[in-house]
Amino acid sequence: MSPTTDAAVSPLMADGGADAAETEAATKNLVFIAAERLFALHGFQNVSVRDITAAAGVNLASVNYHFGSKDALLFEIFRRRTAELNRERARMLHEANDRHQGKPPVREVLAALLTPPLRWLAPDHERRISLQFLIRARSEGTDDIRQVLKTDVSHLRRFSDALLSARPDLSPEEVYWRLHFTLGMLHNNRFAEFDRLNVLSEGTTSEADVVALLARMLAFAEAGFATR
Amino acid sequence: MSPTTDAAVSPLMADGGADAAETEAATKNLVFIAAERLFALHGFQNVSVRDITAAAGVNLASVNYHFGSKDALLFEIFRRRTAELNRERARMLHEANDRHQGKPPVREVLAALLTPPLRWLAPDHERRISLQFLIRARSEGTDDIRQVLKTDVSHLRRFSDALLSARPDLSPEEVYWRLHFTLGMLHNNRFAEFDRLNVLSEGTTSEADVVALLARMLAFAEAGFATR
DNA sequence: AGGGAAGTCTTACGGGCGTTCGAATTTGGC
DNA sequence: GCCAAATTCGAACGCCCGTAAGACTTCCCT
């Protein structure tokens, strides 16, 4: 009866699938996409199952049929997007390792951490809304999501390890704190924060230029890591 | 009938009032304190009026009688705590101006911005829960709250102006971005993020030592501002 | 062509929510 | 000590929510 067990959503990205996926008209994907968008824009609690199914143009019962519950839907979106983002980060870290005989400098480790999410932030990127979803889910998430965040920790550890060996002169706790600060900079990139920044700067800042933003953020974080 | 107009909550801190306030047994204050705590711990949407009044030991109707609505209660807590925090920041910035003939260096401006909230973060500080409330409200807030955040912008401008004149060699947008980064570091100090950091570092980091945390954060941000 | 599984639709149920109302009670000025 | 205003209280209303049940339709395999 209920296909809440996975293996559905079949043709959605074989692995590192690029774009053109998710265009299948299957109801499950329509729900997935609509829910991700609405959650990202308005928050989990402010979006009802009726909102989602109406936006997706499908029947009310679809969410419970295909995902089991509203919570499970949120969880699956979060799980899939997190895995996708972390895959890109891991690949960049791996490449940095290859380039520097397993001991990449701080800048390259930070680049591997920050570049994928900031790429997603580009106005024309297909994952722009996914990044907003992830940022929001991180702070508003349910209990289920904290379980995924523990997996996320084991992923993060690869970056903290790389930073530790790039700066063996620093105490480990100092490195952990600086990583924490860097992640704070990253997770602050919500639409609402950009709005406030735009008001403050009277429109001179534009988050649309994500290449410039990445360069600025990398320079800031690298300088923060370089002290003492 | 309804005393939702201010001027109640009378004896709560004359101005820079220290502690020992808020111990009055008035129902309105009991609701205020209980709501702030519950909102900070569980989020606005996850706390019901019944939760608040039960925790405060008062009648269910108290919230609507004293504040008008649940939304208005949230708004008043946010407004009061924001004003309180910004007052401390403004005072520190003013003192820094006095010490440096109106041109304080970057470090002192950042200290004025970061020190008050990080002081509130201390385990035994009476405003510890208020800071968690503010951080949470900033990202989960209702539409009313964004109006307050615009006032907050005009307050922030004093700091951005100080930074601009401390670093006239930088382009204004660069300064705005670095301020944005710094605020991201600050707003990332939620309990949940500390938990993740503790897991990652296997318990070697402790957010209890807020003096050390402030020193680390200031050093990181100052280094980020010092480049080029 | 048939039949069973998979998916979709309509409908409704039970529950928690914010809010309100009117009565009961307390408070404070004279 | 009295009366009016302020506050507290118990109870209920109406709404929207997530979810489930059951009938119906579509699709595919033989």
The model's pLDDT over B34-73, given as tens digits with 9 standing for 90+, comes to 999 999 999 999 999 999 999 999 999 999 999 999 999 9
- Are A178 and B43 a contacting pair at CB < 8 A? no
A115 with A210: CB under 8 angstroms?
A: no
Provide, as residue numbers in chain A, all residues whose Cβ is less than 8 Å from the Cβ of B220: 177-178, 181, 224, 227
CA B12 to CA B25: how far, in whole Å?
Answer: 12
Helices vs strands, H then E, count in chain B: 10, 0
- Residues B165-221 pLDDT 10s: 999 999 999 999 999 999 999 999 999 999 999 999 998 998 889 999 999 999 999
For residue B22, is pLDDT > 90?
no
CA B28 to CA B24: how far, in whole Å?
Answer: 9
- Residues A79-133 pLDDT 10s: 999 999 999 999 999 999 999 999 999 999 999 999 999 999 999 999 999 999 9
Q: Which of A157, A200, A220 sits opposite B160 (nearest CB)?
A: A200
CA distance A30 to chain B (A): 26
Which one, of B219, B214, B225, lies nearest residue B189 by Cα?
B214
Q: Which of B172, B180, B226 sits opposite A188 (nearest CB)?
A: B180
**DSSP 8-state symbol, B184:** H
Q: Rounded mean pLDDT of A213-226? A: 98
Q: How many CB atoms lie within 10 A of CB B2?
A: 9
For residue B82, is pLDDT > 50?
yes
- Residues A41-78 pLDDT 10s: 999 999 999 999 999 999 999 999 999 999 999 999 99
B98 with B89: CB under 8 angstroms?
A: no
The pLDDT, as a whole number, for residue B3 is 55
A228 band by pLDDT with thresholds 50, 70 and 90: confident
CA A194 to CA A135: how far, in whole Å?
Answer: 13
Nearest chain A Cα to B204, which residue?
A173
- Residues B133-158 pLDDT 10s: 999 999 998 888 987 887 789 999 99
The pLDDT, as a whole number, for residue B53 is 98
Task: Answer yes or no: pTM beyond 0.95.
Answer: no
Which one, of A218, A111, A228, A224, lies nearest residue A177 by Cα?
A224
- Phi, psi at residue A188, to the nearest 5°? -85, 0
- Phi, psi at residue A186, to the nearest 5°? -65, -45
